[in-house]
């Protein structure tokens, strides 16, 4: 198990560096001047001084400066927000996105797994048909539609939730629920398909023939095997959810990392773009390592394949 974790971590570091370098190439390839993007109108002398300070006219030195800063965990300056550094922005925005993302994944697992199990057990019944319709709805509706709907119903009419913003736990449920809906739909669908496949297996029929309670067979035996494809989905889903969703953050006015990434891309801010992409890459690699370890724990037979 230790060898598996070490090997995955080494490959993860290489992957993160490649993503970091590729992001830099794409960031500097966009035409435009990041020092004069948007409302900024700095003097020519100040612009030249900044270009010399950060080696912006020499792409290799510019990139090595980012790498040197990365080794010190210093992501450098941001040209999008005055008097802020990339470290300050990430430290301020990442906990918000992580809290919303983890809450969304928790909702998706708690609601999606039982829905998929009951749908598979009662195949083609009323619950299965209803769940299938809700899954289709959850996958099809964009986040700005569901977010706006929940905001109108719970904040404007029922007045049981804040209209928007961030600062207390009362601001968490609506963004988390909006972000969780598509993940819940995918988890429910994956669980149903996996359970249908497992319930037709020989070991399930053997367990039932031995007199085990159907509830125990379903939840203790079948679900343990059927949960493997769900684990595969939860790895990248966790990373995607924890980096936040720009649409959800925009609808609810949440100061998450997604908004900063979009603003940085629009302002050609290479430093902030690379910082936010690096955060996403690290989370994605970390979640995949965790999923690989859980895979080996759930099914030791596949440990050698990993």
d(CA 259, CA 166): 14
Are 256 and 93 within 8 A, CB to CB?
A: yes
Averaged pLDDT for residues 126-151:
85
Which CATH code for domain 94-257+286-296? 1.10.3720.10
Q: Which residues lie closer than 8 Å to 53 by C-beta, 6 or more apart?
A: none
Most confident of 1-5, 70-74, 274-278: 274-278
pLDDT in tens, 189-222: 899 888 888 888 888 888 888 878 888 888 887 8
**Which residues are bridge partners to 77 per DSSP?**
85
Kindly state the percentage of the chain with pLDDT values over 90. 5
Tell me how far apart the alpha carbons of residues 217 and 205 are, in angstroms, rounded to a whole number: 9
Backbone angles phi, psi at 243, to 5 degrees: -80, 0
Q: Residue 288: phi, psi to the nearest 5? A: -65, -35
pTM to 2 decimal places: 0.82
| Between 152 and 244, the higher pLDDT residue | 152
Q: Are 106 and 179 in contact (CB under 8 A)?
A: no
Distances (CA, A) of 6 to 1, 12, 19, 234, 293: 9, 10, 20, 21, 11
Closest CA to 115 of 136, 142, 100, 144: 136
Q: What is the pLDDT of residues 233-245, one digit of tens each?
A: 887 888 778 776 7
pLDDT one-digit tens code per residue, 249-301: 888 888 888 888 888 888 888 888 888 888 888 888 888 888 777 777 766 56
Please state the domain extents for the chain: 94-257+286-296
Please say whether the beta carbons of 22 and 66 come within 8 A: no
Mean pLDDT of 82-89: 84
Question: What percent of the chain is helix, strand and coil (3-state, nearest 5)?
Answer: 75, 0, 20
Q: Does residue 41 surpass a pLDDT of 90?
A: no
pLDDT given at position 107? 93
């Amino acid at each position: 198990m230790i060898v598996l974790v070490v090997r995955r971590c080494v490959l993860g570091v290489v992957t993160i560096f490649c993503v970091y370098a590729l992001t830099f190439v794409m960031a500097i390839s966009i035409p435009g001047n990041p020092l004069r993007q948007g409302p900024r109108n700095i003097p020519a002398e100040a612009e030249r001084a900044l270009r010399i300070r950060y080696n912006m006219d020499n792409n290799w030195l510019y990139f090595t400066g980012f790498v040197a800063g990365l080794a010190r965990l210093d992501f450098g300056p941001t040209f999008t927000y005055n008097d802020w550094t990339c470290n300050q922005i990430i430290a301020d925005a990442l906990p918000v996105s992580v809290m919303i993302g983890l809450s969304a994944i928790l909702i998706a697992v708690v609601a999606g797994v039982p829905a998929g199990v009951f749908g598979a057990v009662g195949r083609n019944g009323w619950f299965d048909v209803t769940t299938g319709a809700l899954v289709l709805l959850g996958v099809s509706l964009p986040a700005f539609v569901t977010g706006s709907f929940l905001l109108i119903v719970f904040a404007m009419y029922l007045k049981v939730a804040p209209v928007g913003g961030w600062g207390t736990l009362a601001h968490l449920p609506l963004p988390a629920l909006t972000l969780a809906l598509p993940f819940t739909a995918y988890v429910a669908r994956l669980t149903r398909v996996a359970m249908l496949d497992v319930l037709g297996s020989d070991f399930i029929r053997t367990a039932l023939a031995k007199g085990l309670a159907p509830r125990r067979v379903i939840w203790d035996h079948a679900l343990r095997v059927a949960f493997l494809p769900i684990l595969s989905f939860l790895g990248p889903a966790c990373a995607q959810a924890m980096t936040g969703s720009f649409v959800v953050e925009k609808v609810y006015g949440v100061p998450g990392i997604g908004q900063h990434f979009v603003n940085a891309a629009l302002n050609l801010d290479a430093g902030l773009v690379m910082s936010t992409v690096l955060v996403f890459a690290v989370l994605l690699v970390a979640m995949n390592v965790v999923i690989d370890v859980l895979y080996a724990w759930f099914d030791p037979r596949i440990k050698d394949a990993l």
